[in-house]
């Protein structure tokens, strides 16, 4: 399966990625677990615009109240996905698998006589946990997601209806490195 | 495409069957999650027919000792509201020391007119002192 994905970051980082390739970012806080993230076509027609919006939103450092970088860059990548190891969380099969796992973890916690305190479960935690517990090893995960870009952050807009489709690659061999290119770049106002 | 076929389902079920739930909690704690005790509610929910057994007695004792028995009753009430159990078994009356407990719970149960409860005659029973000193 071939997919075109768009990744937004600083222009310096974008140039570095085009030259040297992606590295997988680890972190349970990430939306659908560890991986290299792309905006892709799905519910929305302009994933490159989402990548740009993300690059701009992510430039802001809320602690220092300054931009971490002043120029954004978006990368276009051609991605080949092994369908056998593709976890599609926009499909009923994919969602069924996720929900089954989620319920099993919650049930186990309940059986231990515990419940979560002051923190919500994150989708990415369940996904990473499932992979670490060895149930399967997805090469790519796709999901429709609500992501807070600049406007959503400024006006504290917290919706649940998704505003983009994302793809997390857990294996950078899926990316055709020689065809990586800068899609767009510009100054952050 | 990853999907929940029988092989994957069995793999997942086997993992959870063979893994101590406490270990799963600990693994989530390593991710930064904090947990609090929920055994009182679980003990009630696990009483599928509201068999008020040793487990729920312990739960009651735990809450009573903290002066929080109302939370226990609230738990029972919400369980009834949620599940609308119709067959309530009072197997727990066999516990010699739960007379007080029985009265308290019966009081709660009687609020639900659509739940048929068995009438038990405890008149011959000595209202035992529920040992809450532990």
**What is chain B's Cα-based Rg?**
19
**Residues A14-23: pLDDT tens digits?**
999 999 999 8
Q: What is the ipTM of this complex?
A: 0.89
Residues of A in contact with B35 (CB under 8 A): 109, 114-117
Q: Which of A30-34, A99-103, B111-115 comes out lowest in average pLDDT?
A: B111-115
> What distance lies between CA A133 and its chain's CA centroid?
21
Cα separation, A104 vs A84, in Å, equals 23
Rounded to two decimals, what is the model's pTM? Answer: 0.72
A114 strand-pairing partners: B37
Burial class (CB in 10 A: 0-12, 13-18, 19+), A23: exposed
Q: Which residue has the higher pLDDT, B69 or B91?
A: B69
Instruction: Provide the 8-state DSSP code for B128.
Output: P
For A82, nearest residue in chain B (alpha carbons): B1
Residues of A in contact with B16 (CB under 8 A): 104, 107-108
Cα separation, A99 vs A105, in Å, equals 10
Q: Which two tokens stand for residue A34?
A: 């560890």
Cα separation, A5 vs A164, in Å, equals 12
Q: Say whether residue A31 is in contact with chain B using an 8 A CB cutoff.
A: no
Q: What is the pLDDT of residue B76?
A: 52
A7 strand-pairing partners: A75
Q: Say whether residue A125 is in contact with chain B using an 8 A CB cutoff.
A: yes
Q: Which helix or strand (DSSP H or E) is residue A165 part of?
A: strand A164-169
Q: A50 pLDDT band (50/70/90 cuts)?
A: very high
């Amino acid at each position: 399966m071939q997919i075109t994905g768009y990744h937004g970051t600083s222009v310096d980082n974008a140039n570095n990625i085009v030259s040297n390739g992606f590295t997988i970012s680890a972190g349970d806080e990430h939306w659908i677990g560890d991986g290299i993230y792309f905006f892709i076509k799905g519910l929305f027609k302009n994933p490159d615009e989402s990548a740009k919006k993300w690059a701009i939103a992510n430039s802001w450092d809320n602690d220092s109240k300054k931009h971490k970088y002043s120029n954004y860059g978006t990368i276009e990548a051609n991605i080949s996905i092994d369908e056998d190891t593709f976890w599609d969380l926009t499909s009923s099969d994919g969602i069924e698998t996720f929900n089954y796992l989620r319920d099993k973890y919650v049930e186990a916690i309940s059986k231990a006589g515990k419940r979560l305190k002051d923190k919500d479960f994150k989708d990415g935690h369940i996904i990473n946990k499932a992979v670490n517990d060895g149930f399967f090893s997805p090469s790519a995960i796709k999901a429709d997601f609500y992501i807070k870009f600049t406007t959503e952050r400024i006006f504290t807009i917290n919706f649940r209806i998704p505003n983009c489709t994302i793809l997390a690659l857990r294996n950078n061999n899926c990316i055709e490195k020689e065809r990586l290119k800068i899609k767009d770049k510009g100054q952050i106002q | 495409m990853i999907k929940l076929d029988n092989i994957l389902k069995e793999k997942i079920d086997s993992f959870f069957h063979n893994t101590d739930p406490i270990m799963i909690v600990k693994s989530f704690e390593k991710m930064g999650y904090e947990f609090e005790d929920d055994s009182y509610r679980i003990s009630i929910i696990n009483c599928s027919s509201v068999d008020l057994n040793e487990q729920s007695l312990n739960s009651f004792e735990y809450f009573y000792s903290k002066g929080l028995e109302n939370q226990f009753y609230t738990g029972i009430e919400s369980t009834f509201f949620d599940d609308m159990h119709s067959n309530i078994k009072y197997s727990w009356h066999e516990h010699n020391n739960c007379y007080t407990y029985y009265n308290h719970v019966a009081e709660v149960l009687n609020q639900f007119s659509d739940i048929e409860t068995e009438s038990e005659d405890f008149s011959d029973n000595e209202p035992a002192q529920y040992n809450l000193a532990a």
